């Protein structure tokens, strides 16, 4: 298993800047104090002091602060899943509180090689979690690797017509198993997920390029500009041209 810590930040929030969140990297949030809820499919999950939340890449979350929260964000990349659940608890609470205390010491900014120390502390969190959940890790890693393959295929094929049967085959799962596992992993069915990615891509192209709207429509997988405009307005309550003008 290879884990790369990209960023570690101490964050205080009375409300989330983005209550609807979809990220391109995995994020582990370790709560020092306060609490918040998050959800991607079903009932909101509450996370408090000494607990963690996993925000998986390419998953759309709803988040809300309950009481003002101080937490440590670890943005990372890993070749295999390192956390099993979306809410993460630790049996050895003294050990995780010790890790939080060490992170607080790093916030003083007086230590040399500060980031390498943060990497070591994150590695310690991952190790603690792996020891406490060893019996469940292998099964989840196999399932999630299959869904990750499909997510990459969808992301690289927004301009194409994608059949669910083909995606299930890519995941090496039956059609029914694929639909269930995909929704468990992302909080959306494949069609909803594809729509979210196409909308994000369209917004990016409208705001960052001068491509004609017709070309953006084809790039994002729509048969023509008419269907694209209807889709865009349904989800944003504004037309593509109006969105582009407002972004300038």
The answer to whether 241 and 213 are in contact (CB under 8 A) is yes
Q: What are phi and psi of 21, to 5 degrees?
A: -130, 135
Distance of CA 76 to CAs 27, 99, 119, Å? 6, 18, 10
Take residue 31 and report the two structure tokens written for it. 């709560």
What was the pLDDT predicted at 113?
73
Cα separation, 34 vs 12, in Å, equals 10
Report the pLDDT value the prediction gives residue 73, as an integer from 0 to 100: 94
Strand partners, 20: 62
Which tokens in the block code for residue 188? 């959306």
Residue 233: what pLDDT?
A: 86
Per-residue pLDDT of the chain (248 residues; tens, 9 = 90+): 578 999 999 999 999 988 888 888 999 999 999 999 999 877 899 999 999 999 988 888 999 999 999 999 999 998 777 887 899 999 889 989 999 999 998 888 766 678 888 998 998 898 888 878 765 555 555 557 788 888 888 888 888 888 888 899 888 888 888 888 887 777 678 888 888 888 888 888 998 888 999 999 999 888 889 889 998 888 888 889 888 887 66
178, exposed or middle or buried, with CB in 10 Å at 0-12, 13-18, 19+? buried
């Amino acid at each position: 298993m290879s884990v790369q810590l990209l960023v570690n930040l101490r964050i205080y929030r009375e409300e989330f800047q983005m209550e609807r969140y979809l990220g391109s990297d995995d994020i582990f949030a370790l709560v020092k104090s306060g609490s918040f809820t998050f959800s991607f499919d079903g009932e909101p999950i509450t996370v408090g002091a000494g607990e963690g939340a996993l925000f998986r890449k390419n998953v759309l979350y709803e988040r809300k602060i309950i009481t003002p929260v101080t937490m440590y964000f670890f943005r990372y990349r890993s070749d295999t899943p390192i956390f099993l659940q979306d809410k993460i608890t630790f049996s050895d609470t003294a050990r995780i509180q010790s890790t939080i205390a060490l992170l607080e010491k790093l916030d003083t900014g007086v230590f040399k090689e500060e980031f390498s120390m943060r990497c070591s502390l994150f590695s310690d969190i991952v190790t603690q979690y792996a020891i406490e959940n060893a019996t469940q890790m292998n099964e989840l890693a196999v399932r999630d690797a299959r869904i990750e393959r499909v997510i990459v295929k969808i992301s690289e094929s927004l301009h194409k017509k994608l059949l669910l049967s083909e995606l299930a085959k890519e995941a090496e799962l039956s059609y029914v198993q694929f639909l269930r596992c995909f929704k468990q992993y992302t909080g959306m069915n494949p069609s909803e997920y594809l729509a979210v990615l196409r909308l994000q891509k369209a917004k990016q192209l409208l705001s960052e390029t001068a491509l004609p709207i017709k070309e953006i429509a084809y790039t994002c997988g729509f048969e023509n500009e008419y269907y694209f405009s209807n889709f865009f307005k349904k989800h944003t309550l504004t037309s593509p041209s109006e969105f582009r003008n407002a972004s300038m």
